């Protein structure tokens, strides 16, 4: 539901993916999925898994496992991934510049939202890692969307929470799925390669700019799509 306290207060905003964009967790998810698949008797190469990180869990499982599998095992895999990833929560680290990037956007007068495919509990752990709640106006997770990325449901929920339209925001993400989801709403995406996806792949998907990570984006913020949003 729209946040009534924010409605009318902001005219522009920035949406951020979290896993692989602000927090160094993409490869941890890869390992967690790899172990979950093996526990269920499936041998899926890590490289294939990593390329799907950023989708929602059910979509990732369906895309990586054989069509003829016993689909009753899907919930077992999903639960195993959640449990394994949870054991890594204490090891999570924010990328250099991530907290300051959120702070700078906030202090520049932009509404700031996290638009993540993470489940509610995982998102809480990621937010704790960022230690930046005072600079975040809203956060949406897999619990707020019927369909996961590359469908745009999570971004729609974030826009609703901020009371903004797609034309009022820029999205920052690390995965092709982030870019494709934003494209469906006409939202320009700034890509970051710190999640393990190359600049070429992000640009081919439609990213308007690509940076190494939050720190480099922060350094070039004035000349970025976020800076141009502030000028518009």
Q: What is the pLDDT of residues 181-203, one digit of tens each?
A: 999 999 999 999 999 999 999 99
pLDDT of 117 reads 87
* 189-193 long-range contacts, CB within 8 A, separation 24+: 190/217, 190/224, 190/225, 190/226, 192/20, 192/21, 192/217
Contact (CB, 8 A) for 20 and 195: yes
Which helix or strand (DSSP H or E) is residue 178 part of?
helix 176-183
pLDDT over 70 at 6, yes or no: no
Percent of the chain past pLDDT 90, that is, above it, reads 90
Q: Which fold has domain 13-25+92-231?
A: Rossmann fold (3.40.50)
pLDDT band with cut points at 50, 70 and 90 for residue 126: very high
What pTM did the predictor assign? 0.95
Transcribe 94-113 into DSSP letters.
BPTTHHHHHHHHHHTT-EEE
Region label for 41, one of left (φ > 0), alpha (ψ between -120 and 50) or beta (otherwise): left
**DSSP 8-class letter at 23:** B
Q: What average pLDDT does the structure give for the chain? A: 95
Q: Outline where DSSP puts E strands in the chain.
A: 13-16, 111-115, 138-140, 169-173, 189-192, 209-211
Strand order in the sheet with 13-16: 138-140, 111-115, 13-16, 169-173, 189-192, 209-211
pLDDT over 70 at 143, yes or no: yes
- CA gap 55, 13 in Å, rounded: 23
pLDDT of 4 reads 46
pLDDT over 60 at 1, yes or no: no
CATH 3.40.50.1000: which residues of the chain? 13-25+92-231
Is domain 26-91 classified as CATH 1.10.287? no
Summarised one tens digit per residue, pLDDT across range 81-121 is 999 999 999 999 999 999 999 999 999 999 999 999 898 99
Summarised one tens digit per residue, pLDDT across range 54-91 is 998 999 999 999 999 999 999 999 999 999 999 999 99
């Amino acid at each position: 539901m729209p946040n009534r306290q924010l409605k009318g207060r902001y005219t522009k905003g920035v949406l951020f993916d979290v896993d692989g964009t602000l927090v160094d967790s993409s490869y941890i998810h890869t390992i967690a999925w790899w172990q979950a698949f093996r526990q269920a008797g499936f041998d899926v190469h890590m490289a294939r898994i990593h390329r799907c990180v950023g989708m929602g869990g059910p979509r990732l499982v369906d895309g990586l496992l054989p069509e003829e599998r016993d689909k009753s095992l899907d919930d077992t895999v999903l639960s195993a991934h959640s449990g394994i990833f949870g054991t890594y929560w204490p090891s999570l680290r924010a990328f250099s510049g991530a907290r300051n990037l959120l702070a700078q956007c906030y202090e520049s007068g932009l509404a700031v939202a996290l638009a993540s495919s993470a489940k509610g509990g995982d998102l809480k752990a990621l937010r704790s890692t960022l230690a930046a709640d005072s600079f975040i106006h809203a956060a949406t997770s897999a619990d707020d969307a019927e369909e996961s990325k590359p469908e745009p449901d999570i971004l729609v929920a974030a826009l609703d929470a901020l009371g903004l339209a797609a034309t009022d925001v820029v999205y920052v993400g690390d995965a092709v799925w982030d870019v494709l989801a934003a494209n469906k709403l006409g939202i320009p995406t700034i890509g970051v390669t710190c999640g393990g996806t190359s600049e070429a792949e992000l640009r081919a998907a439609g990213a308007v700019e690509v940076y190494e990570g939050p720190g480099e984006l922060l350094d070039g913020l004035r000349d970025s799509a976020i800076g141009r949003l502030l000028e518009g």
